[in-house]
Amino acid sequence: MTEKQKTINQSVSIEGNGLHTGKTGTLTFHPAQADHGIKFRRVDLVNAPVVPADIDYVVSTARGTTLGHDGAFIYTIEHVLSALTGLGIDNVLIDLDVEEIPIMDGSARPFLEALKKAGTVELDADKQFVVITQTIIHEVPSKKIKIMIEPAEEYTVDVVIDYETQVLGEQRASLHHIGEFEREIAPCRTFVFLHELEFLLQNNLIKGGDLSNAIVFINRQVSQEELDRLAGVFNKPTVKVKDNGILNNLNLHFDNEPARHKLLDVIGDLTLLGKPIKGKITACRPGHQTNTEFTKIIRNTLKV
């Protein structure tokens, strides 16, 4: 039986702060017709320019994936896109009144829950797939990065991360069927090492961070003075390091939540192909730059 394209049944909004800009914005999902695809619209700008969620419009992968077109930019798109793919939604128009998508809790779950509230509806058009017909590999040996896709009947993803730190050793995560996304992947939040956090703070980034939307790994000895400073930055009375080497700002949903979040990002970034995938992905140390480079390679190789 042929699978049909999907959109949402009604419009739904979600509000929050951008992780890096700190600006409060409203994101609204609207239903769209068949073959519309996923598109963003900057309703705060003159003439409300539209930016397609397409790999050809990626302009940056620093601290997240950014789209740009005609002077309009959309920052940190990956969690929204992964939620749409996780629910099998092909067509939607996304209005945004700021440049950065709200970080929410650092996962895809808030977007997925909003979309489920809106409901999905089938359209009178067949779903179009990117069918992988050959093995495609992208490697960056100097960074120990490798990402590969092979022919398969289902969309599956295996991820391995290893940043050669004692606090976060090798982790693996797998998605065997897109139906597992909501329960196994969507709740998994972004993570950061302490030295990365300090860099971001020094460069006036993560203005929307509040220690509730990221797992913070402590990969070196820290003094009480440093912990007190972090508590002040994020408006917490105190913070401390837990036995597993993370700050006590939150509890892990899964022991391998970081690897699961990287898998979430892979799904979000590969959504920029514009069609759901039939293929098996294996990724070692993936990141937004690698994911988007690989997406371009798939498009150019298969001419999709």
What does the DSSP assignment read for 1-68? -PPEEEEESS-EEEEEEBTTT--EEEEEEEE--TT--EEEEETTSTT--EEES-GGGEEE-TTS-EEE
> Which residues are marked as active site?
288
Cβ neighbours of 255 (radius 10 Å): 10
Q: Tell me the C-alpha to C-alpha distance, in Å, between residue 202 and each of 103, 158, 195, 206.
A: 20, 34, 11, 10
Q: Is 5 exposed, middle or buried (0-12, 13-18, 19+ CB in 10 A)?
A: buried
Q: What is the largest CA-CA distance in the chain?
A: 63
Q: Which two tokens stand for residue 103?
A: 């970080």
Q: Which residues contact 185 (CB under 8 A, 6 or more apart)?
A: 82, 86, 108, 173, 175, 260, 263, 264, 267
Give the side-chain half-sphere CA count within 13 A for 33: 0
Amino acid at site 21: T
